[in-house]
Amino acid sequence: MSRRQRPFSPIVEFEHSAFTPYLPTTKKTASYWVLGIIIAIFACRIGFGDRYEPEAVYVLGVSLAWVSFIAPMSIRALQQPSQPFQEWWLTFPLDRRTLVRAKLLASLRLNAHIAAAIWLIVTVHNFSAAVLTESPFHASLGRLWADAASYGLLFAAIVLLITCLATLAPIALHGWYRLLIFPYLVLWGFPMGNLGSLLQGEVQTDRWLQTPMVLLYACAGALLGWILYHVAIVGVAKVAMKGLASHEPGKALVHLHRPASAAQRTVRGRPTAAGFRSLFQLERSRHRSIAANKWLQLVRGILVLAIMVGGYFSLSNSEWIDMIRAILVIPSIFIITHMTLTYANDMGKRRLEWMLGFPYSRLKLAFSRLLAIWATTALWLGGALLAAAVGAGIRYIVNRPDSIGTSNSLYTAAYVLLLFTVYIIFGTLVSHVQYSTAKYPVLSAIGLPFMMLSYVAPMLFNQYVLPESLPTAGVSHSLWIGLGLFAVIGLPFALVLFVISTRGMAFSMLASQAKLARRSGVTK
């Protein structure tokens, strides 16, 4: 047994080395973690005070852990086929299950650190609320200790469950497994569903979120996580790693008579552009290629039908406003995440290095990509809203409801559309600040909090800006003023971050390549 485990531990340490710079392994990084935890505790004290039950704050922490685990781990897993050293990685004298297990265990270590930090922040907040205030929510120390123990076990179960679930993401890129993409996105945003109602006190926590039920959730999550752990190792090794090798047995290297794909035929039929327009068409061709995938077309067709049915049943009593909001929330988060994934993927494939050789400024290169994602977003969200409108139109013709809405409903719908439009523009601009980390650390320190905030902004909108009573109560003047200030101040600020950050694209790429070289042992 020991002989089999000897080569396994070094490969785990190798995979874990990718996360070591971000973990409290040195005095410098540990001081950053301690400072961040202290700031987060003070933020919780200011934001929550003694107005929320301890269980509600723990649920918020679990939800944030859920999202922070599933997004980065999924992106890292999906990037594996494009890593420049993946063929060298496959030459290790280890079977593929061992390689997948090593990556999974390294990710579990990272997520365990994050979960422990979030749990500590919430626990210290709840106990400090009990000491500093006289809130009835914190009257019993026994309740606080029971919550701390039970939710600690739940955090541990979530680490195992979500890390293993995120490891399965590459399987959704192969064959009929692509049908799992939509359920996977639903799971991505699952914890945010009733979070706003929970924090507003509309959900009672006296039973479902108390210690006995939380212990039951933790046991169920640990059992399901244990199953997914083994499924992930076997499934990723058998399915997701097929395309990593440059040549697979029984598969021809060159397809001389292979018919052109739908995306290739579409691109060939378009007139050749020049200048900045050629850059725009180049970026748009990537989105058309993804949209031409037959499995994604099937998923898109199912979504369109589902949206039409939702539009049909949501026409009465201003419920169609909630339908519009539901259409906008998840895609808006996905778009900003896609911007991060695209640049990281291009660095790994050295596509960014190829693009920087074009006779155009870095600002034009980045702006062409930005325009392409905006155009694609407008087309896809416009199509979804049109499908909802078609369903609502059928309902109006077949079975017209007694009440559709008031003039306030139209103003509310316009407000929701404008709010998410400004948010998408702001988020996609701010997402470029990650490329200024190496060259402009001060700018990065200013912009990264806004970038991280953009990932949870829709949740904050639903909680503070778009309450359930908004369709009937209407949009107040203060909300319109707030949206105007967001657009007038936020968009120019994001544009400045974008322009300056694009100057650090090449430097960030070189720093990333040097880091990979050091990991692979090419340089000392």
**238 and 372 part of one domain:** no
**376 and 490 part of one domain:** yes
Which of the two residues, 493 and 297, has the higher pLDDT score?
Answer: 493
**237 and 346 part of one domain:** no
Structural domain contains residue 272: no
Structural domain contains residue 123: yes
**232 and 311 part of one domain:** no
Q: What is the pLDDT of residue 495?
A: 93
Best mean pLDDT range from 71-75, 113-117, 391-395, 402-406: 113-117
Instruction: Give the integer Cα–Cα distance in Å for 357 and 258.
Output: 31
Residue 132 has pLDDT above 80, yes or no: no
Structural domain contains residue 241: yes
Instruction: Give the integer Cα–Cα distance in Å for 137 and 130.
Output: 8
Q: What is the pLDDT of residue 371?
A: 92
**341 and 420 part of one domain:** yes
CA proximity to 403, closest of 316, 310, 473, 312? 316
Q: Amino acid identity of 480?
A: W
**94 and 24 part of one domain:** yes
Specify the number of domains making up the chain.
Answer: 2
CA proximity to 192, closest of 330, 41, 50, 341? 330
Q: How many residues does the chain have?
A: 524
The pLDDT tens digits of the residues spanning 33-67 come to: 888 888 888 878 877 777 778 888 888 888 888 87
Structural domain contains residue 284: no
Q: Which residue has the tokens 């600040």?
A: 433
Q: 234-248, 377-391, 482-496 — which is least confidently predicted?
A: 234-248
**462 and 377 part of one domain:** yes
Residue 268 has pLDDT above 60, yes or no: no
**308 and 406 part of one domain:** yes
| Structure confidence at residue 117 as a pLDDT band (50, 70, 90) | very high
How many percent of the chain have pLDDT more than 70? 73
| Structure confidence at residue 4 as a pLDDT band (50, 70, 90) | very low
224-249: average pLDDT: 73
Quote the domain boundaries for residue 306: 293-520
Distances from the Cα of 388 to the Cα of 8, 303, 411, 424, angstroms: 53, 11, 18, 21
CB atoms within 10 A of CB 4: 8
Which of the two residues, 6 and 224, has the higher pLDDT score?
Answer: 224
Residue 488 has pLDDT above 90, yes or no: yes
Structural domain contains residue 5: no
Which of 246, 277, 312 finishes a domain? Answer: 246
The pLDDT tens digits of the residues spanning 6-41 come to: 445 788 887 777 778 778 888 888 888 888 888 888
Q: 233-247, 291-305, 379-393 — which is least confidently predicted?
A: 233-247
Structural domain contains residue 288: no
Q: What is the pLDDT of residue 124?
A: 92
The pLDDT tens digits of the residues spanning 273-285 come to: 567 888 888 888 8
Structural domain contains residue 105: yes
The answer to whether 178 and 295 have CB atoms below 8 angstroms apart is yes
Residue 178 has pLDDT above 70, yes or no: no
**124 and 238 part of one domain:** yes
Structural domain contains residue 192: yes
**180 and 301 part of one domain:** no
